[in-house]
Each structure stands twice: as structure tokens, then as C-alpha cells.
Amino acid sequence: MKNIIGILILSIVLVQCGQDKDTLILKNQLGSIDKNTSIEALDKIFKNDSIEKFPLEAEITREYRVFGVDGKPALVFIPRVENDSIKGMELVKIYSSEYVTEMGISTSSTFKDIADNYSIDKIEPSFSAAILFVDELNATISLDKKDLNLDEFNMNKINQGQIPDEASILYISLWFE
């Protein structure tokens, strides 16, 4: 009996250590960031990272970009603006594979990984991407149309059967409600 309890406790500890809570993508939440997170809080959370507020000289930040070590944006936050004041976060675009869902999906995953782990509620075309709606995460996942062998400006309806298993993710948009 003691062995079973010990194994159970060890399993729980290992599972919790295996996934960094700061990089976990959940419904309406990225790590500790949710719809009520302010720009000032983002400044504290990412104080050791290279950040850019856009537009640079404006009173209201329209985009808050966090850059990875490669110099490319890892995260792009879009604040919710009401009556010329920021009221928290509307969404975050996730470009870095460092951020992962509970099911192991990140920007380094493929369409097959998404389809095997989540229900795809809708697929919409854009000029350069196929956009997958995953209500379970309150997220949209953009796939590169080049991987689908579709013309960039083709706006015809796309169904799951047209998407190759190995289609890559451009970015994940996590919406905050």
C-alpha cells in the first residue's frame, strides 16, 4: 500500500514538473496571463525579455511584442481598448514553440497533431492561411496555405480533407474572454 501511495505522489510531482505553468496554453489563459492582465503587469512578467510597444510614441499601446532569443516575435499581445483606455487583453498571437497546450500542441506541431487532440469546429480561408477554430481552447490556429497547395489569394471554402497531415502552424491566436 505504501508503494502505491509513493508511486502516486511521485507521478503527480513528475507531471507537474513536466510542464512549465508560465508557458502553458489554456482556454482564455496563457500561463498567468488572462483578459484582466494589464500592460504594466506584462512589463513585470517579461522584464528580462526584449519587448516592444507599438506604436512606439503613442499613449495607448496597440501591440505588445515579446521577442525570442532569435530576434523574432515570440508573442504579440493585442490589448482590449475601450474609450481610449486599455481594459486588459483581447488576444495573444503565439509564434514560439516554447508555449504548449495541455495536449502538447505548439507552433512546432502539425495539422495531424491538432486533429488528433482537439475538435476543429470550423475552418475559414484567409489570403495566406487556413484558419482552424478550436473552441475548446478559445483559439484559432493559422496554417500556411503553401502547405495546402492552395493559391495564396484563393478564398474558396477549405475542408479538413484538403489539409495534409504535415501542414505546419504559422501561429496560434489565443482569445481572452
93's grid cell: 498571437
Q: Which CATH number among 3.90.850.10, 2.60.460.10, 1.10.1070.11, 1.10.3720.10 corresponds to the domain 22-175?
A: 2.60.460.10
Closest alpha carbon to 171 in 146, 142, 148: 142
**β partners of residue 105:** none
Strands (E) in the chain, as ranges, are 24-26, 29-30, 50-54, 63-67, 73-82, 85-94, 100-101, 122-125, 129-134, 139-144, 169-175
Domain boundaries, the chain: 22-175
Count of alpha carbons within 13 angstroms of residue 125, beta-carbon side: 16
Highest mean pLDDT range out of 47-61, 79-93, 116-130? Answer: 116-130
Between the CA atoms of 82, 84, 87 and 90, what dihedral angle is there, to the nearest 10 degrees?
Answer: 70
Q: 123-174, pLDDT tens digit by residue? A: 999 988 999 999 999 999 999 988 888 777 778 899 999 999 999 999 999 9
pLDDT band at 20 (very low <50, low <70, confident <90, very high): confident
